[in-house]
C-alpha cells in the first residue's frame, strides 16, 4: 500500500458552541487544530461543526467568524472545515428575515421573534450579521457523512421529511432557505427542535433504520445536552455520550450551562 493510500486525514466534530467563542478557541488550540493565534495548524485534518454557533452565549458571530476563517485556511493547507446548520442558526435567520411576522397556524400566535427571545437570542448576534454571514449560513448542509459517520445536528428523524438521501435533504432545506416561504421556514425550525429519537428500548432500532436510509456506521449529533440525557450536572461531562447500542454518539457538552465545548475525534473511543 502506498504512503498516500495508507494515510487518512484525522476527522474531528465540534458540538454546540452557543456563543462561547473563547471556549471553542481554547479547545481547538488544546487539540492542536489551531495555533496560539487561532489560525489553522492541522494540515489535512477534517473538522466538522455540528451547528448551534449562536444564542445563549456572548459571541455567536465571533464563533461563526472563526469557523469561516478556519474554512478558508484549512483549504489552503489541504484540510477541510465544514459546518452543519443547527436549529439555532435557523432561528437566527428566521428572526433576521421575518421577526414578528405571524406564522400561519392553528390559531396559536407564533413568530420567530418570540421563539428567538425564548431560546436565548442575543441582540449582538443579530446586529453582527453581514451579507457574507447570510450567504454562508444559507448554503450550509443540514446532514453529512464524515469518516463513515452520519452527522446530524438534531437527534431526530424529522430530516426524512425532506428526502430519503443526504443530497435530497440538503437540497430541499437549501431551497427553503433561499425562498421567502415563512411557513416552510417555520417548519424547518420546528422539525429541527425535536429530539431524543434514539433513546429508550427502541433507540438502537431507530438508529439502524436511519443509518440504513442515509448511510454510515454511527450517528453523531449535537442538540441534546449530554448531562440532560444522563441526569447529571453539565460540569461532570468530560467526554461524548455513546448510546443506542453504540450506534449513536452525542457530543453536546452543554457549554452554555457550565459544561465543555466538546471537540471529538472520529472514530471515538471512550476514555479509560
Sorting pLDDT into bands at 50, 70 and 90, what band is 110?
very high
Residue 188 to residue 77: CA distance in whole angstroms = 35
pTM over 0.85: yes
Sorting pLDDT into bands at 50, 70 and 90, what band is 7?
low
Burial (0-12, 13-18, 19+ Cβ within 10 Å), 135: exposed
Residue 171 lies in a domain: yes
- What is the per-residue pLDDT across 119-128, written as a single tens digit (0 to 9) for each? 999 999 999 9
Residue 184 to residue 170: CA distance in whole angstroms = 14
Confidence (pLDDT) at 107: 78
Residue 176 lies in a domain: yes
- What is the per-residue pLDDT across 22-57, written as a single tens digit (0 to 9) for each? 999 999 999 999 999 999 999 999 999 999 999 999
- The answer, yes or no, to whether residue 256 has pLDDT greater than 90, is yes
Residue 55 to residue 19: CA distance in whole angstroms = 6
Q: Which residues of 188-219 are buried (b: 16+ CB within 10 A; e: fewer)?
A: bbebbbebebbeeeebbebbeebbeebebebb
- What is the per-residue pLDDT across 149-181, written as a single tens digit (0 to 9) for each? 999 999 999 999 999 999 999 999 999 999 999
Provide the number of structural domains found in the chain.
Answer: 1
- The answer, yes or no, to whether residue 1 has pLDDT greater than 50, is no
CATH code, domain with 236: 3.60.21.10
- The answer, yes or no, to whether residue 2 has pLDDT greater than 80, is no
Residue 120 lies in a domain: yes
Mean pLDDT confidence for 130-141: 98
Boundaries of domain holding 81: 9-266
- The answer, yes or no, to whether residue 191 has pLDDT greater than 50, is yes
- What is the per-residue pLDDT across 216-237, written as a single tens digit (0 to 9) for each? 999 999 999 999 999 999 999 9
% of the chain beyond a pLDDT of 90: 93
Residue 2 lies in a domain: no
Residue 32 lies in a domain: yes
Residue 229 lies in a domain: yes
Residue 272 lies in a domain: no
Residue 184 lies in a domain: yes
Nearest to 25 by CA among 55, 56, 46, 53: 53
| Helix locations, the chain, DSSP H | 3-6, 21-30, 60-76, 87-98, 112-118, 123-128, 131-137, 166-177, 182-192, 203-214, 226-230
Confidence (pLDDT) at 272: 61
Amino acid at each position: 500500500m502506498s504512503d498516500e493510500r495508507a494515510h487518512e486525514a484525522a476527522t474531528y466534530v465540534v458540538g454546540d458552541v452557543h456563543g462561547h467563542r473563547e471556549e471553542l478557541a481554547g479547545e481547538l488550540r488544546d487539540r492542536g487544530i489551531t495555533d496560539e493565534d487561532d489560525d489553522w495548524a492541522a494540515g489535512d485534518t477534517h473538522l466538522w461543526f455540528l451547528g448551534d454557533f449562536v444564542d445563549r452565549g456572548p459571541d455567536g458571530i465571533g464563533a461563526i467568524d472563526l469557523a469561516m476563517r478556519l474554512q478558508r485556511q484549512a483549504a489552503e493547507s489541504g484540510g477541510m472545515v465544514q459546518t452543519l446548520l443547527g436549529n439555532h442558526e435557523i432561528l437566527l435567520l428566521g428572526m433576521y428575515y421575518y421577526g414578528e411576522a405571524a406564522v400561519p397556524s392553528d390559531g396559536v400566535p407564533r413568530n420567530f421573534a418570540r421563539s428567538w427571545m425564548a431560546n436565548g437570542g442575543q441582540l449582538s448576534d443579530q446586529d453582527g450579521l453581514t451579507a457574507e454571514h447570510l450567504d454562508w449560513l444559507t448554503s450550509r448542509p443540514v446532514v453529512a457523512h464524515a469518516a463513515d459517520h452520519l452527522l446530524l445536528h438534531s437527534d431526530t428523524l424529522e430530516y426524512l421529511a425532506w428526502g430519503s438521501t443526504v443530497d435530497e435533504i440538503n437540497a430541499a432545506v437549501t431551497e427553503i432557505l433561499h425562498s421567502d416561504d415563512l411557513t416552510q421556514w417555520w417548519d424547518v425550525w420546528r422539525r429541527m427542535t425535536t429530539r431524543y429519537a434514539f433513546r429508550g428500548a427502541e433507540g438502537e432500532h431507530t438508529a439502524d433504520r436511519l443509518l440504513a436510509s442515509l448511510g454510515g456506521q454511527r450517528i453523531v449529533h449535537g442538540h441534546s445536552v449530554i448531562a440532560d440525557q444522563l441526569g447529571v450536572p453539565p460540569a461532570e461531562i468530560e467526554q461524548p455520550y455513546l448510546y443506542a447500542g453504540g450506534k449513536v454518539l452525542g457530543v453536546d457538552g452543554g457549554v452554555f450551562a457550565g459544561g465543555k465545548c466538546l471537540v471529538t475525534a472520529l472514530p471515538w473511543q471512550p476514555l479509560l
